[in-house]
Structures are given as C-alpha cells and as structure tokens.
Structure 1
C-alpha cells in the first residue's frame, strides 16, 4: 500500500435512493490504496471548519437534494479556490443544494430532469426513469487522462438532462432522443462528464452513477476513479 500523504473528505447523505453510504464505500478503499487518509462525514457542517478544510486535498461528495448553510458553502468554495479538489457523480454533486445558486455556479452544471418511459409504462418506481442511452466520449477529449483509452458506452439508467455554462470542459455527452410523448421536438445533448477549474482547485462531475450497480459498470467506475485523482490537489 502507498504511504499516506494526502487527505480525502467524503461528505455523504441526502436522498437514500442514491445509496450515498454504499456508493461512497465503493471508492474509499480505492482512495486509501492511492495514499489518502479518508474522513467520512454525514453532514456538510465540516465545510465550515476552515482550519480542517485547509488541509483537505480531495472532497468526494455524494449528497442529493439537501440544503447547505451559508457558512458551510463559503467554506467549501474557499477550500476549492485554495486548491482542494472536488469530485462526485450524479445527484450527489449535480443536484445537491437547490437552495444555493452560488453552489450551482461553482459546479457548472445542474440536474434538470431525467426523462423516462411512456406514461402508459409508469409504475411510480425508480425504474420509470431507467432508459437505454449512450455516453459519447468527445473526440477532442479522447486524450484527457480521465477518459483516455475509453470508447462510447451504453447504460440503462437515469439519463441526466443538465443545465450548464460554457466554462465547463466537457469530456463526454449524452443525447436525449425525442419520443412521441415528449414536449421537445429535437434531440438534446447534455454534458455527461465534465471538469471545471475554480481558483486553484479542480472539479470533476460524472452524471452517470445513479446507484451502486451503475457505479460498478467498468467504464463508469474507471472514469470516477480517474476523475477523483485528477481533481485532487
């Protein structure tokens, strides 16, 4: 095992459907094997601890549909601006704190919806939104260390439609088709994997990652593992 030289903070919680404990537990051993001492918190309160945050090299956040206090967000943003890496997947990073527009600005992309099956097929379960779709690696990003050597791949899971700005660096996209029951009338392409530079820090986002079975997909897991290391100080 590599000697411990870095500090990683895992902040997890929010909607149980995203399995925040089980999902982050998949990656803690990977971080430890790569030389990180890992601290796990079930609350965002830690973000307001400026002395501690100053020593964190990487934040892995998996916290969906919750809220964040002003001092906590400011602590998170200050840490990233000073060089702490921030990474995560799916709603745990792209749908975390709807009460804070500055958080959306920091991340650069916000979950809008995940269009699902036809109205006649809906059952009220999560699987209503599990749709076959493709993650397309952008040719111009093919040498980026997060996606190098990977090809387009298919998933049956939630396909995130996200609202973004052009300050993100997109590595992969996914295109939402138009079905007979949809209100839109042309295909919509959204970023699926992106990075963002903020101050001295790096941010990594993967929209695939709804539940453990998706995180265990070899392509998704490889992208997330690489993305976390890439984002780290």
Structure 2
C-alpha cells in the first residue's frame, strides 16, 4: 500500500480542512494509506518522510522552519511526490526562497474587476477566464483528453522559472485600469521534476465550488496519482 501525507493549515480563507477532505476518499479508493497533519512540523520527521510516497499540501501563506523545509526538499528529491492547488502550494511560505525554488512558481496577484464594480468582498477578484491546455498538456497523462475550460474565480498571475513543464495557461488581458501594457500569460497547471520526485501544481482552487468543477477535479485527481512515487517508479 502506498502512503500519502496530507498537510493542511495556514490561511483559513482557503478552507484547508474542507478542501482536502474532498480528496481523501479518492486517495483511499486508490490504495493510499492516508495520514493527516495540521502542522508542517511533520516534514522534519525523517522516518515519516522516508516512507511517504505522496504529499498533498494545502497551506496558504504561513511560515516554515528551516529543518521542516529541508525535510520536505530532501523527501521530494528522493522520490516523494508533492502536489496541491491554488494558494495551498503556490502561495505557501512566501519568505522562503528555497521553497519557491522547489515549487518553481509563486503567486504574485489575482487582478480584480473594474474598480467601479467592486463590492468589497472576495468576489471583487472573481474574473471569468479560460484555462487553455498547451500542446504538452494534450499529451500529458494529467490533462490528456481535456479541452480548454472556463472558470469564474481568482485568476492567478504567477512568477515562474523555465524548469516547469506547463500543461495549461491562462492569459490576463489589458484593461484601462491596469498598469501593464500587454497581455500576460501565466502557467495555470504545471509539473516539475525535482531529483527523483514529481511535483504538480494546479492554480485554480480558491473555494470548494472550483475544486468540484469537473475539469479542475480531474486535473487534481490525476495529478495525485501521477506525482506519487509509486507511479514514477512504475
């Protein structure tokens, strides 16, 4: 049986408990023995990390101790899969450059609606946008068979490096109230090879409704299986 570790916490606005609970039955149905931790301290437990085949992380912002991050990086380099969605993986531990290097992409912003249309709640940042599958994505096990899909939610603007393999993108248009002068395309779904480990990042996932969108849920579930050490070893 494969071992999965679910690490959740950080900013409560992303509902880390309820969000990860959505995927626990999928993990158990696919043969994972699931362990749940509400603290990143578990990353510093070498014995646990050595036997972990897959980490699902949902920890937005927050901070991480040096020993914990070293344990996470070492585990991934040794073959443990690492995955998550939205701020739970792409906006974690902002002060840690070593974490940002591991993941390969960092949330920068989510542009909002026209200022005159804002009502001062989270929906001010909900824009209708398209997630476009790349040529690589059409052939990748995580996104194969999926077509471009539209969401109305936060549209992540991501800073990233060239070591990411981009399976889907989203493009931020230029609006009169924006200071940028040409459309910006950001990775929306990507993978990354780190040592012997596989990393999968899915940027949609602000709330439970988005996580239950059929395309988003398919990507996350396939990513869980693809990232696992048991898959990469087969």
Q: TM-score range by the shorter chain?
A: over 0.9
The residue correspondences of 1:206-217 to structure 2 (distance < 5 A) are 206-217=202-213
Per the alignment, residue 38 of structure 2 pairs with: 42
- What is the alpha-carbon distance in structure 2 between the residues aligned to residue 141 and residue 16 of structure 1? 31
Structure 1 segments (4+ residues) deviating >6 Å = none
Per the alignment, residue 148 of structure 1 pairs with: 144
Q: Shift in Å at residue 180 of structure 1?
A: 1.0
Q: What per-residue deviation string (whole Å, max 9, x for no partner) do you get for residues 86-123 of structure 1?
A: 00000000001012100000000000000011111222
Q: Shift in Å at residue 125 of structure 1?
A: 0.9
Per the alignment, residue 14 of structure 1 pairs with: 10
- What is the alpha-carbon distance in structure 1 between the residues aligned to residue 78 and residue 129 of structure 2? 37
User: For the Cα contact (< 8 Å) 2:136–2:166, is it kept in 1?
Assistant: no
1:105 and 2:101 are equivalent in the alignment: yes
- What is the alpha-carbon distance in structure 1 between the residues aligned to residue 70 and residue 120 of structure 2? 37
Per the alignment, residue 81 of structure 1 pairs with: 77
Tell me the number of residue pairs that the alignment of Structure 1 and Structure 2 aligns.
229
Per the alignment, residue 28 of structure 2 pairs with: 32
1:71 and 2:67 are equivalent in the alignment: yes
- What is the alpha-carbon distance in structure 2 between the residues aligned to residue 139 and residue 64 of structure 1? 30
- The CA RMSD measured in Å over matched residues stands at 0.6
SS at match of 2:139: coil
Per the alignment, residue 89 of structure 2 pairs with: 93
SS at match of 1:40: strand
Return the TM-score normalized by structure 2.
0.97
Per the alignment, residue 192 of structure 1 pairs with: 188
Name stretches of at least 5 consecutive residues in structure 2 with no aligned partner: 230-234
- What is the alpha-carbon distance in structure 2 between the residues aligned to residue 165 and residue 219 of structure 1? 25
Q: Shift in Å at residue 141 of structure 1?
A: 2.5
